[in-house]
Every structure is written in structure tokens, then in C-alpha cells.
Amino acid sequence: MQKETGMQDDLINFKKFYNEAVQKVPTDSFYRQSVDHKYRHSIDVLHFGKEVLQKTPELAGKTPEFRKVAQQALLFHDVGRFEELVRLYEVEKNNGDLVAASKAQNHGIIGYDLLKDDERYNDMRILFAVRWHGQMPAEICGSEMYQAAQKLPQFTEITEVLRLVRDADKLANLHTIKEQDRLRKDIFYLHLSPEALNAPISEDVKAQFFAGQVVLTATLHSFADRIMQVISWIYDYNYTETKNIFKKHQFADYLLQNLAQYHHNADDIAKIRAEIAQKMQ
């Protein structure tokens, strides 16, 4: 059995990517705050992922080598965000179209490209999670990389790591959404018109939610829609321990309280609450 090495070297390597971005964006800017946030988020994802790893029966019996790789994937999953933020800062500096540029970026691809030639992290269990953690499951399964991965002996572990990263990513996001009011600090909120800020849930978004679907970003209109999108992550939790952590932190109550400030239909709120309770069993 291989010895389980600590994460010290990985943390140092990860911080190099963070430091590079810090050098390239102004202090006190939105970009610097976002770079800092992404660094802390990555540490949070590692933390939540380790908790799921330890307490999930089907993962607890894995080898130390698997745990090491899984933890590396957790820490590095958003490594492409640093470069993405630097690129967006450059666009803004040159008076470019920031909304178009942010849609054109894919931090999964940037991260994959950064790590694939690095022998320390050139492992498909890490690379696949970095590349695909932010995409919809249907898109992942339809990709050429997924077809190729299916032929690898590591395929089961590739999907286990991907599901772990997806779960931990959502838990870490929920944690900062609740503790730091993060939904009101992201680009979507900052660009909302006063009408869209105060509008109720859109019909299309409600339909997606009650059809059991994760709400698509392209369909978001109001801030209530954005909250619904976060709630709709209930359809994409993979491990029972993730649901336990979700319940322990009372994320549902926080999200529903916020939603009720914008969507004044108590019946709808009650139905959404019931749907969450049912999925989190």
C-alpha cells in the first residue's frame, strides 16, 4: 500500500497559481476579491470533499492513493478560475464586452490545459473532474472525452472523483452563500435591473424545477430564479453524506427565507420546501 502523503506540496503548488493571478490584477479591484474568493473556495471544497470522502461508505474503503488523487482534484478543480479572472480583467481594461467574454470562458478547459502537461497532476481522475465539474451531466456523457474515459480501467474512479468534486463544490458554494451572502456579490446579481431584482420566479424556471431539472443559467431572469437555480442543485447531489451535510447546515431554510422575499406565493414556497425535503431523504 502506498503511503498517504500530506497535501503540503499540493497546497504550495496551488498557491503559485493564485499568486500569479494576484500579480496581474489590481489590489482593491473586483477581480482581486474574486481571485481571493476562489482561493478560499478551493480550500473549502477540499474540506467538504474530505468530509464526504471519510463518511461515505463506498468511498471510505478506497486506497490512500485514491484519496490523495481525489483530494488533489478537489483542491485544483477551479484552478482555471484564476486565469479566467485575469482574462476578464484584461477585457474590462480594454473596454471589451465583459458579458460576452465571461460567457466565452470555460474555466474547466483552462484548468485542464494548465494541468495536463504537469506530471504531478496528469491523471485522468483529476483532469476529468477539472474539465467537467461545472457542466451539465447530459453534456458530460455526450462528450468525446467521456466516451474515451469509459474504455479506461480507471473509469469507475474517474466518475467517483467527478461526483465527489461536484458535491463538494456545491456544498462549499452553499456555505459561502449562507455565511457571506455570496449570491448578492456575484456578477449575475451586480448586473440585475431593479425590475429583475424584485421579480418573482419565472414560469420557465418553475417548470424546470418541478420537472426535476437543475435550472439552466441561460434561462435565469430574476434574482428569485438565481435562488431557484441554487435550490435545484438538490437534483445533482451524488452521495448520501452530501445530503447529510446539506441538512446539518440548514441550507434549505436560508434559501427559502431569501426566496420568499422576492416570490410572494406561499403555496409555491411550501411546494418547493416539500420537494427539497423529499429529495434530501
- Whole-number minimum distance, CB 90 to Fe ion, in Å? 22
- Whole-number minimum distance, CB 165 to Fe ion, in Å? 8
174 vs 224, beta carbon nearer Fe ion? 174
Q: Give 244: exposed, middle or buried? Use CB within 10 Å, 0-12, 13-18, 19+.
A: middle
* 167 part of the interface to Fe ion, by CB under 5 A: no
Q: Are 51 and 178 in contact (CB under 8 A)?
A: no
169 vs 225, beta carbon nearer Fe ion? 169
83 vs 268, beta carbon nearer Fe ion? 83
Residue type, 82: F
- Contact flags string 53-82 toward Fe ion, x per CB under 5 A: -------------------------x----
Identified binder of Fe ion from the candidate list 169, 225, 241, 268, rule CB under 5 A: 169
Comparing C-alpha atoms, which of 225, 214, 218 is closest to residue 268?
Answer: 225
- Residues in contact with Fe ion, counted by CB under 5 A, come to a total of 2
- Whole-number minimum distance, CB 277 to Fe ion, in Å? 26
Stretch that binds Fe ion, among 62-70, 124-132, 162-170, 182-190 (CB under 5 A): 162-170
Grouping H, G, I as helix, E, B as strand and the rest as coil, residue 95 is coil
4 vs 186, beta carbon nearer Fe ion? 186
- Whole-number minimum distance, CB 198 to Fe ion, in Å? 29
17 vs 202, beta carbon nearer Fe ion? 17
Task: Give dist(CA 121, CA 112) in Å, integer.
Answer: 10
78 vs 225, beta carbon nearer Fe ion? 78
- Whole-number minimum distance, CB 280 to Fe ion, in Å? 21
Task: Give dist(CA 136, CA 232) in Å, integer.
Answer: 13
DSSP letter at 62 equals S
48 vs 202, beta carbon nearer Fe ion? 48
Stretch that binds Fe ion, among 68-76, 138-146, 161-169, 264-272 (CB under 5 A): 161-169
- Whole-number minimum distance, CB 137 to Fe ion, in Å? 16
Stretch that binds Fe ion, among 19-27, 60-68, 168-176, 263-271 (CB under 5 A): 168-176
Task: Give dist(CA 124, CA 159) in Å, integer.
Answer: 10
Task: Give dist(CA 48, CA 245) in Å, integer.
Answer: 9
Q: Give 275: exposed, middle or buried? Use CB within 10 Å, 0-12, 13-18, 19+.
A: middle
135 vs 275, beta carbon nearer Fe ion? 135
Q: Are 188 and 144 in contact (CB under 8 A)?
A: no
Cell of 42: 478551493
CA 237 to chain centre: 12
Q: Give 59: exposed, middle or buried? Use CB within 10 Å, 0-12, 13-18, 19+.
A: buried
Stretch that binds Fe ion, among 4-12, 56-64, 164-172, 221-229 (CB under 5 A): 164-172
Positions in the binding site for Fe ion (CB under 5 A): 78, 169
